[in-house]
Structure 1
Amino acid sequence: MPPGRKRQKYSRLATIGGMGFSDDPRVVKLSDFGWQMRERFLYEYDFGDNWQHQIRVEAILTPKSNCFYPVCISGQRACPPEDCGGSWEFMAQKQEYSVRYIASRYSEILEEGDIPGNIEEMYELRQWLMVDHFDRQKVNQRLQQYAAGDKEMLFEQEIV
C-alpha cells in the first residue's frame, strides 16, 4: 500500500474522553477509508489490554433499506471479560477457571448457603463456563439496540 494512504491518517482515532487525536470517531465511517477487496486492517480495542483484531474486507455491498447495520454474520466464542489483562492473561485465567474448578466453587457456595453474598462471583464463574459459547442472534439483537440509540444496553451484564 502506498505511503500516506488514508488509513494511516486514521490509525488511531480519538475516543470520547480519551487521548485527543485529530479525528472524531463519531463521524468517521468505514467507507471513509477507501478499503479495497481483500485488504486488511487492524482494529485495536482497549488500548490498555491491547486487544487487536485483524479485519479483512470480503465484500463491499450496497446497504438494504429494510436492514439494520452493523450486522454479525458469524463468530466464535464469547468475548473475554472486560479488563481481564489482555490475551495472555485471558488465556491464563481460562486455564485457571476450568470446569472442575467452577463446579467445586459452586459446590462450596451452595454448602455455605450464602448465595446472595456470592452472586457476583457466581456470575463471574458462569462467564468462564460460557467462554466458548457464541450466540449470533443475541449479538445482532444487541447491535440493533445500539443502532436504535439504546445506550443503556452497553452496561447490561449479559453473556453473548
Structure 2
Amino acid sequence: MNGSSAPSIIQLKAVISGISPMIWRRFLVTADTTIAQLHYILQIAFGWTDEYLHRFVIHAKPYGIHHIGGEWFSDDANTVTLLDLGLRVREKFLYEYNFFDNWQVQLRVEKITEFEAEQTYPVCIEGKRNGPIEDCGGAWAFQELRQEFSEASVAYRMAKILVNDEITQRRGELRQLSYWLLLDRLDLRKLNQRLQQSPLSEDPAFREEIIFIDT
C-alpha cells in the first residue's frame, strides 16, 4: 500500500470489548486505506476467518462490504477511505463482526503522522494476546472457556495425550489445546507477514488465507 503520493499515516488502537485481560492491537495504516481494506486488516490482526457479516459504525453511520442476506450499505466500502471520513486524533469508532457472537472492536485514532518511505504499511506495531477463536459464543463465553482451559489443565491434558500416544487421533483437540496454551503469546512477526503478503482485496483466494494465526 506504499505509494508515491505519500499519504499521511493513521495510528489506530483496536480493542475487543468485554474481554479481560484485554486483547488489542496497535497498527499503522495509510490514510488512503479503504473501509474494505481496514476490514481485512482487522480480520488478519485478530486471526478471524471472515466467515460472518460485519459492519463499521463511524459518525453514527454504518459502513461495510455487502453480502447476500446482510445489511445494505449506502457507500461502497472499496472506495470510501479513512481520509474521506475526516477522522481526528482521539476519535473513536466501532467495528462489529459475527452478529451471533457479537464481537465488538473499539477503534481509536491515536496519531496522524507523516509517511515513512522505509516502512511497509499496514503494520501492527504492538498488541497483546491472540484473537478469540471463531464460534466460541462471544466475549462472555470466551471468558468462561479461558477459565476452563487454564494453562495447568491444558498442559495436563496435552501430557496425557502424548503419554498415551494418541497424537494422530487427537489432532483436532491438540490444536485447540495449543491455542489456549499460547493465547498470551502473540507473534507480531507472523501477523505482519500475513498483512504484507496478502493483497487487501475481496479476492476469495485471499479470504481463504486469513485464518487462525498459526502459533
The residue that corresponds to 1:27 in the other structure is: 79
Query: Larger strand proportion, structure 1 or 2?
Result: 2
8 Å Cα contact 1:14-1:22 kept in structure 2: no
Structure 1 residue 90 displacement after superposition: 0.5
Shift in Å, 1:81: 0.9
Residue identity in the other structure for 2:214: E
Q: Does 1:13 align with 2:64?
A: yes
2: CA distance between counterparts of 1:57 and 1:116?
46
48-57 vs 85-94, greater mean Cα deviation: 48-57
Instruction: Report the number of matched residues.
Output: 153
Q: Is the 8 A contact 2:191 2:213 kept in 1?
A: no
User: In structure 1, how many angstroms separate the alpha carbons of the residues matched to 2:80 and 2:213?
Assistant: 28
Separation in structure 2 between the aligned mates of residue 153 and residue 51 of structure 1, nearest angstrom: 21
Q: Spell out, residue by residue over 1:1-51, the C-alpha distance to the aligned partner (whole angstroms, 9 max, x if none).
A: xxxxx7333x24234444332233233222221111111112223222121
RMSD over aligned CA atoms reads: 2.3
Correspondence for 2:209: 153
Gapped runs of 5+ residues in structure 2? 1-57
Deviates more, 1:84-93 or 1:57-66: 57-66
Q: 1:14 touches 1:23 (CA, 8 Å); kept in 2? A: no
Greater Rg, structure 1 or structure 2? 1
Determine the structure 2 residue equivalent to 1:121: 173
1:3 aligns to what?
Answer: none
Farther off after superposition, 94-103 or 141-150: 141-150
Normalised by the length of structure 1, the TM-score is 0.81
CA contact (8 A) 2:93 2:106 kept: yes
Deviates more, 1:24-33 or 1:122-131: 24-33
> What is the correspondence of 1:55-66 to structure 2 with a 5 Å cutoff?
55-66=107-118
Name which of 156, 162, 166 aligns with 1:110. 162
**Deviation by residue 1:92-145 (Cα, 9 ceiling, x = unmatched):** 000000122112211332243221111111011000001111222222111112
Aligned equivalent of 2:103: 51
Q: In the alignment, residue 132 of structure 1 is paired with which amino acid? A: D
By relative contact order (CA 8 Å, sep 6+), the higher-ranking structure is 2
Distance 1:41 1:25 in 2: 16
Deviations 1:52-95 (A, max 9, x none): 12222122234344433221121111111112111111110000
The TM-score, its normalising length taken from structure 2, stands at 0.62
Among the aligned pairs, what percent are the same residue?
42
Residue segments in structure 1 that go unaligned for 5+ positions in a row: 1-5
Taking the aligned partners of 1:23 and 1:46, their CA distance within structure 2 comes to 21
